Chains A and B, each alone.
Chain A
Amino acid sequence: MELTLWTYEGPPHVGALRVAASMEGVHLVLHAPQGDTYADLLFTMIERRGRRPPVTYTTFQARDLGGDTAELVKRSIAEAAERFQPEALLVGESCTAELIQDQPAALAQGMGLGDLPVVGLELPAYSKKENWGAAETFYQLVRSLLKGQMPPPGQPKPEPTRWRQEGRRPRVNLLGPTLLGFRCRDDVREISRLLAEHGIDVSVVAPLGARPADLQRLPSADLNVCLYPELAGPVCSWLERSFGMATVRTVPIGIGATAAFLRELHGLLGLELPAELEPGAGGVSEAERRSRLPWYSRSVDSTYLTGKRVFIFGDASHAIAAARVATQELGFQVVGLGSYSRELAREVRAAAAELGLEALISDDYLAVEAAMAAAAPELVLGTQMERHSAKRLGIPCAVISTPLHVQDVPARQAPQMGWEGANELFDAWVHPLMMGLEEHLIGMFRHDFEFVEGHRSHLGGAPAAEATGTNTVPAETSGVSAAAATATPAAAPASGAIDAALAWTPDGEAQLARIPFFVRGKVRRNTERYARDHGLSAISEEVLFDAKAHYSA
Chain B
Amino acid sequence: MAQTLASPKPTGSPDAPALIRENGQREVFCGLTSIVWLHRRMPDAFFLVVGSRTCAHLVQSAAGVMIFAEPRFGTAILGERDLAGLADANAELDRLVGHLLERRPEIRTLFLVGSCPSEVIKLDLAKAAERLNGQLAGRVQVLSYSGSGIETTFTQGEDNALLALVPLLPAAPVAMAAGSGAAPPDQLLIVGTLADGVEDRFRSLFSRLGIPRIDSLPPRRASELPPVGPGTRVLLAQPFLSATARALVSRGAQLIPAPYPLGVEGSRAWMAAAAAAFGVAPAHVQAVLAPLVERGQRALAPHREVLAGKRLFLMPDSQLEIPLARFLARECGMELLEVGTPYLDRSLMAEELALLPPGVQLSEGQHVEHQLDRLRAARPDLVLCGLGLANPLEAEGIATKWSIELVFSPIHGIDQAGDLAELFARPLRRRALLSFA
Give the bracket for the number of chain B residues in contact with chain A.
35 or more
Residue A11 contacts which of B54, B71, B386, B388 (CB distance < 8 angstroms)?
A: B54
Stretch from A171-179, A248-256, A473-481 that touches the partner: A473-481
Stretch from A63-71, A286-294, A418-426, A435-443 that touches the partner: A63-71
- A4 and B74: CB pair below 8 A? yes
- B28 and A1: CB pair below 8 A? no
Stretch from B93-101, B163-171, B301-309 that touches the partner: B93-101
For residues 213 through 255 of chain B, which have their beta carbon under 8 Å from a beta carbon of chain A? none
Contacts of B386 in A (CB 8 A): 41
Contacts of B73 in A (CB 8 A): 5
* Closest chain B residue, CB of each to CB of A13: B54
Tell me, in angstroms, the Cα distance from A99 to B4 when the chains sit together. 25
For residues 64 through 111 of chain A, which have their beta carbon under 8 Å from a beta carbon of chain B? 64-65, 67-68, 71-72, 75-76, 79, 83, 94-96, 99-100
- B70 and A475: CB pair below 8 A? yes
Most chain B C-beta atoms within 10 Å of own C-beta, residue among A2, A127, A475: A2
- B67 and A94: CB pair below 8 A? no
B62 within 8 A of A: yes
Mask of B102-140 contacts with A, CB within 8 angstroms, 1/0: 111000000000001101110000000000000000000
Contacts of A476 in B (CB 8 A): 103-104
For residues 469 through 523 of chain A, which have their beta carbon under 8 Å from a beta carbon of chain B? 474-480, 485
- B1 and A71: CB pair below 8 A? yes
Task: State how many angstroms separate the Cβ of A411 from the closest Cβ of chain B.
Answer: 14
- B53 and A10: CB pair below 8 A? yes
* Closest chain A residue, CB of each to CB of B388: A40
Contacts of B121 in A (CB 8 A): 99
Stretch from A29-37, A203-211, A459-467, A533-541 that touches the partner: A29-37
A131 within 8 A of B: no
- A10 and B57: CB pair below 8 A? yes
- A96 and B25: CB pair below 8 A? no
- B96 and A478: CB pair below 8 A? no
- A485 and B103: CB pair below 8 A? yes
- B52 and A96: CB pair below 8 A? yes
- A126 and B120: CB pair below 8 A? no
Task: State how many angstroms separate the Cβ of A241 from the closest Cβ of chain B.
Answer: 29
- B104 and A44: CB pair below 8 A? no
* Closest chain A residue, CB of each to CB of B154: A35
Contacts of B56 in A (CB 8 A): 4-7
- B54 and A125: CB pair below 8 A? yes
* Closest chain A residue, CB of each to CB of B365: A61
Tell me, in angstroms, the Cα distance from A21 to B109 when the chains sit together. 41
Give the bracket for the number of chain A residues in contact with chain B.
35 or more
- A1 and B76: CB pair below 8 A? yes
B391 within 8 A of A: yes
* Closest chain B residue, CB of each to CB of A48: B391
A447 within 8 A of B: no
Q: Given A52-B388, A52-B392, decide whether A34 and B61 contact each other with a Cβ distance below 8 A.
A: no
- A38 and B29: CB pair below 8 A? yes
Tell me, in angstroms, the Cα distance from A485 to B1 when the chains sit together. 51
For residues 34 through 93 of chain B, which have their beta carbon under 8 Å from a beta carbon of chain A? 48, 50, 52-54, 56-58, 60-62, 64-65, 67-68, 70-71, 73-80, 82-83, 87, 89, 92-93
Contacts of B155 in A (CB 8 A): none
Tell me, in angstroms, the Cα distance from A508 to B71 when the chains sit together. 37
Q: Given A35-B30, A75-B4, decide whether A6 and B52 contact each other with a Cβ distance below 8 A.
A: no
Most chain A C-beta atoms within 10 Å of own C-beta, residue among B68, B77, B93, B387: B68
Tell me, in angstroms, the Cα distance from A124 to B83 when the chains sit together. 12
B405 within 8 A of A: no
* Closest chain B residue, CB of each to CB of A44: B391
Contacts of B76 in A (CB 8 A): 1-4
Q: Which residues of B come within 8 Å of A, CB atoms?
A: 1-2, 4, 24-33, 48, 50, 52-54, 56-58, 60-62, 64-65, 67-68, 70-71, 73-80, 82-83, 87, 89, 92-93, 95-96, 99-104, 116-117, 119-121, 148-151, 153, 369, 386-392, 394-395
Closest 5 CB pairs of A and B: A479-B103, A35-B30, A35-B149, A50-B395, A40-B388
Given A1-B50, A52-B392, A59-B25, 6 more pairs with CB closer than 8 A? A2-B76, A34-B28, A59-B26, A67-B2, A68-B1, A76-B25
A sample of 27 cross-chain residue pairs with beta-carbon separation below 8 angstroms, ordered by A number, consists of: A1-B87, A1-B89, A1-B95, A5-B74, A6-B60, A7-B60, A35-B31, A36-B30, A38-B29, A61-B2, A61-B149, A62-B150, A64-B1, A65-B120, A72-B1, A95-B116, A96-B116, A96-B150, A99-B120, A388-B65, A389-B68, A391-B68, A405-B64, A475-B70, A478-B100, A478-B103, A480-B100
